[in-house]
Structure 1
């Protein structure tokens, strides 16, 4: 669907391989080997994060019935609270709001972080954490885990990744007529210059899921350009993705 490796490289996870639902950093070498946690990079919306199920008090989470390790989110910055050792970013993507926390480190790129101000769109990679029972926040690994989005097409690509990951994880549910509304991609506000490129609606979301489900090669799916072309034909117009 898209090049997940670019996001892996940004967080030092290069060399990982793609598995259904995200990136894998390694599995058990055999069924007799001790079970190891599978680390995946899952594209999500904030609404999905706020609806996850917590498996136990230690903070393990599941989304669409699968373990949730590391997540990728694209959202607008609504507030920046910078303190001596911790910076908290309030993020919003049109489906909800969540805080992302970044602890200060000596190797942090001050120039890069200075670009992250109210109103800009950012790409965030981190781990979901909770405190005081269902008060969620994202724990960022390092300063490279939050980057300003410079290409509006990246927002659209992320929305398609969210749909694809959800469709892959819940294929059995969809065959029985069930569907989780939490997969609806983010719809950024008109106040942003990216809003026109990022807008989506239930028809497009549902049609994309339907096309991916009916794709002859489900493991590979459609290239994003082909998916946009098919959706454009269904709508009677030409969808654009350049």
Structure 2
């Protein structure tokens, strides 16, 4: 399925979410004779925090995120409450970044069937739908909701949403010589990375430089140490950096908040988020 710049190529590790072909071009324009813009719709992975922070240029305008219109979206979260009503089922969804209402409209002819197939609280679900705003309050009108069967999909979705946000706000990843991957040289201000000033391999994300010295030390150690997909655990980082357990925990909280690292096999094992 082509989503207009967001294409399901390879399927990704999460399944069902598609892969974001950020370099792709949006397809088509209006449908013949109808003036519809469905061909220009994009499907974008988002967090609830991003939805709550979308900008509305003027009343009735498309909501904007990272300078682009938000049309079709997909999110993954946990059901906190369910409110069945005559015309719709309203789910309160929490993805760890915020909460939002997701409304699944009920087909009157299938009301009994759809009402029986509601998702119970604490169930993880993936939602496909459209963000709507009415009287200043936002909700997601769901086209389709399904249960998440593999928890890896939750982590995959958050990483995918992070990657898309960084691509749209920072530009494509850079190669070793600083040129944007895929061609097209940009100025130093266009790069997502900056030299760490220590002569080490590669650089560090600019936002890490705003973190504490401990967080920078931890990031540099993770960045320059071979840890495979599982990353490095607290004991390895402590032995390699001389940092105390408390210093590492505080540093990890900073780096997680900046989206520079992520937890892997447990809450005390981290790896660098490779952009």
TM superposition score normalised by structure 1: 0.60
SS in structure 1 opposite 2:49?
Answer: helix
- Which structure is larger by alpha-carbon Rg, 1 or 2? 2
SS in structure 1 opposite 2:260?
Answer: helix
Q: 2:44 is matched with which residue: 42, 64, 71?
A: 42
From the superposition, tell whether residues 207 and 73 of structure 1 become closer, same or farther in structure 2 (CA, over 3 Å): same
Q: 1:118 is matched with which residue: 79, 97, 121?
A: 121
Correspondence list, 1:1-242, <5 A:
3=11, 7=16, 19-20=21-22, 24=26, 26-28=27-29, 36=37, 38-105=40-107, 106=109, 110=113, 114=117, 116-133=119-136, 135-141=137-143, 145-172=144-171, 175=191, 177=206, 203=255, 206-207=259-260
TM superposition score normalised by structure 2: 0.54
Residues 13-50 of structure 1: CA distance to partner in whole angstroms, max 9, x if unpaired?
xxxx96418995x2349xxxx99562111111100000
Residue 168 of structure 1, CA deviation: 1.3
Residue 59 of structure 1, CA deviation: 4.2
Residue 114 of structure 1, CA deviation: 2.5
Residue 201 of structure 1, CA deviation: 5.6
Q: CA RMSD in A?
A: 4.1
From the superposition, tell whether residues 57 and 21 of structure 1 become closer, same or farther in structure 2 (CA, over 3 Å): farther
Residue 103 of structure 1, CA deviation: 1.0
Q: Which runs of 5+ in 2 are unaligned?
A: 1-8, 172-188, 193-205, 209-251
Contact 1:77–1:90 (CA under 8 A) maintained in structure 2: yes
Q: Which runs of 5+ in 1 are unaligned?
A: 10-16, 180-199, 209-227
Residue 85 of structure 1, CA deviation: 1.7
SS in structure 2 opposite 1:128?
Answer: strand
From the superposition, tell whether residues 113 and 175 of structure 1 become closer, same or farther in structure 2 (CA, over 3 Å): farther
